A and B are shown apart, each in its own frame.
Chain A
């Protein structure tokens, strides 16, 4: 059953037990609108290139609403939309068309945005993804309904400058950059089926990795390639609440904190018998939501009309086939491979895939992987490696192919029990702090040669271990005496002495076992 405290919400407001019970009566209902900027070479309706440039250098007459100019639809945007439709298991409409959505805004030069309101290119989809969180015992699979996908124009950007303070200075100014005006967006509208902020961000994270993989968008959040609006309300005993809309969030962190903030804010209002205002809100730098407009603006009538200069868009069978083939050729996304083929857990798969350096490292390792090495082992040793490197102030993860090879060799050797755990840690430290940045790979000595040369193989012969332990015991009778009386410090001291003397070549568990036998005088 659903329980409020289990799924997130912990980052905002520490709650008393009484509050908890009260909160449990409210169920957050969250819907998302995700605006994905497509990575087509030209804009949605003009042949203007979309490459980065200084302000107002990527503007053709149509993009600045020169009167008399007409839209012509970029076919590449259709392909991207068809791929997106497939990704979200949407039904592609036989035909769709474009609408004008009217409102005045300085960076929207025509006084309307061309979008698809009534007959979108695709609708009725569903999308599944894993939800994981440190507060969850196990990840769970969530499926959300997609209401529609619509192709639409992006707006320009406005920069508001304050008035210059000096005497004779100028008043406040707004500068407009039309470079982005008319760039292609796909808006994904989900049904309000998210219950927590964590679910919302896992959806966006998963979606982001997929659209990058399938060459739909470059997916760079800091460049605004993905902008998210969230509708948030609290339902009480299945009675829907008033919703607010948080606009234009472009980082995962903001989405997370702003939704949580909004849930808490609405809860506080409802809990003190107030009413939530239907309104549009913005998220500030700290993820708090602040009111953006007057509340009556929420019901703005956009005076939709059919865009008369574009014929109906009829989807040809071969376009669908092409989009499908393109996606099949692209194969699975990295996070899917990590999860489904290699066996990484959902969290690690996403976490690794989101970090290009980490992903490169893992992919190198996987290529060298002996299939007997499991994802858990790789993750375990990556964690050891990370700690080691951070302690020695080195950049994790190491980027050389050479290192990856040594890393995987070590993993193999440790699982074959040819090296001890402690020995491997030492070797990881050695290789990760010395080999990194050293490009003369050929001269470097691999793990096997190094271990052979320095004779660091695990001591396997039980009699040899007994002999070594016995020697050390006899030379440290005082410590043995204390250890025998239950002094654990002395025991550890003894163990460390042996480790040092044997260059950590005895497996630590085995060593402890043998030591105990000596102490219990089963061995002498």
Chain B
């Protein structure tokens, strides 16, 4: 109970950072009492506001500003059943579209690694920015995020915490408001690799409500780095990568080598197409998934309702931000009869290539190690002045894991010369989630 009260205190203390869209302190207290009654140890949990909870769920959009879902996401129910107490729903990029957590309807998330100022601030990464900061500030032991192209690993790296995207399907998507259905993975923020695995075990398991969910196979895991084959893909050393990030990536590889791992240079030449591939695939899914927001049964309803179509159009235009609207436009374009073959079907082929290439790499290596992002967290003003193009540079490192459906974890490896955290990313083959967490843990032990 003490842990929950202190979490609530911290949440109040950090309010100026915009971590939460809604605070559910009373709910957390009630869940803590229930947990204790059941003989469980209550622990504070923050949940990204794209997971359904029957308190409120907004996806940081005016569209769902007053929306109360009729159910909870499967993994929310599962974590509460294990003693999780929901402190609040965390802030994000609107409908998870973005890597800055800066443009949501309820204001930006501001990193807690520097003072929160009103006009400029340190970017927490995104889209799961609020969840990352909730763990970094010690409010939550576990924060639930979602990861479609890096939305958990990126903010984990920027905030110096662990961000773990499991194999696609290991965590149920039932109750996760989708971004790209075939790429979305509910994900875990916490403070250690052991905890990543511990929470994954609590949350995993096939879910009848998600036909794409899979069971994690029982595997041994590993206890030593010795003889581990570690792949270093040459293409991840690109022109956007900062010196700091490059050094720490090397540092991690050196540590592993010192622990008698075999370092194997590999090549993943198609990774550079992941951004274009992702843009097309995601736009198509987004256009489709967002079609339900027509203001008929729920969601923002415009006063301009002289005709049904006017009502649809104005309700959507008024309440969805430009990032979201642009992607809907793009997606509807890609889905058109005359362009589908040209874009969507090509992108699907590229996706298969990227995925096959990674699968092939895992015939030679056990894990792949890469940077998580180009460098340390930028300032808001930097992003704004470059029209958010830096977001794409960072996405480069994380998207391939989603396209291939493999598990990936961002490990805080050290600090850049500006004193801000930097992460490295470890990727393993499908369903090797335990191996991945084990290696991350062994790596951290010798850092």
Contacts and interface: CB of A to CB of B under 8 A. Distances in A.
Interface in A159-215: 174, 176, 178
A112 B288 contact: yes
Given A65-B292, A67-B59, A111-B291, 19 more contacts: A67-B52, A67-B289, A67-B292, A68-B57, A69-B209, A70-B209, A72-B209, A102-B288, A102-B335, A104-B309, A106-B296, A109-B292, A110-B291, A111-B293, A303-B287, A303-B332, A303-B337, A309-B212, A310-B212
A100 interface: yes
Contacts of B292: 65, 67, 109-111
A67 B177 CA distance: 5
Nearest to B289: A67
Interface string A96-107: 000010101010
B387 interface: no
B336 A70 contact: no
B308 interface: yes
B32 to A, nearest CB: 26
B181 A309 contact: yes
Contacts of A112: 288, 291
Contacts of B208: 72
B297 interface: yes
B211 A71 contact: yes
Contacts of A309: 173, 181, 210-212
A65 B297 contact: yes
A69 B297 CA distance: 15
A276 B402 CA distance: 51
Interface stretch (B11-19, B66-74, B224-232): B66-74
A180 to B, nearest CB: 14
A70 B210 contact: yes
Contact of A68 (B174, B296, B337): B174
A70 B174 contact: yes
A311 B211 contact: yes
B211 A68 contact: no
Given A66-B71, A69-B174, A104-B312, A109 B211 contact: no
Interface in A74-129: 100, 102, 104, 106, 109-112
For the residues of A in contact with B, the DSSP-based class is loop
Interface in B270-305: 284-285, 287-294, 296-298
B51 interface: yes
7 contacts: A66-B52, A67-B292, A70-B209, A112-B288, A301-B336, A303-B332, A305-B285
Contacts of B64: 67
B312 A301 contact: no
B175 interface: yes
A308 B332 contact: no
A102 B69 contact: no
A110 B181 CA distance: 15
A270 interface: no
Interface string B322-361: 0000000000100111001000100000000000000000
Contacts of B177: 67-68
Contacts of B209: 69-70, 72
Interface string A306-350: 001111000000000000000000000000000000000000000
Given A67-B177, A69-B174, A308 B294 contact: no
B335 A304 contact: yes
A305 to B, nearest CB: 6
Contacts of B309: 104
Given A309-B181, A309-B211, A309-B212, A68 B291 contact: no
A304 B339 CA distance: 12
Contacts of A109: 292, 294, 296-297
A310 to B, nearest CB: 5
Contacts of A301: 336-337
Contacts of B335: 102, 303-305
A104 B174 CA distance: 24
A472 interface: no
B211 A70 contact: yes
A61 interface: yes
A61 B176 CA distance: 13
A141 B283 CA distance: 52
Contacts of A497: none
A68 B176 contact: yes
Given A106-B308, A303-B335, A305-B335, A66 B70 contact: yes
Interface string B184-215: 00000000000000000000000011111000
A61 B336 contact: no
Interface string A19-62: 00000000000000000000000000000000000000000010
Contact of B52 (A64, A68, A110, A311): A68
Nearest to A299: B337
A514 interface: no
Contacts of B57: 67-68
A489 B336 CA distance: 83
Residue from A68, A72, A174 with most neighbouring chain B CB atoms (10 Å): A68
Contacts of A304: 335, 340
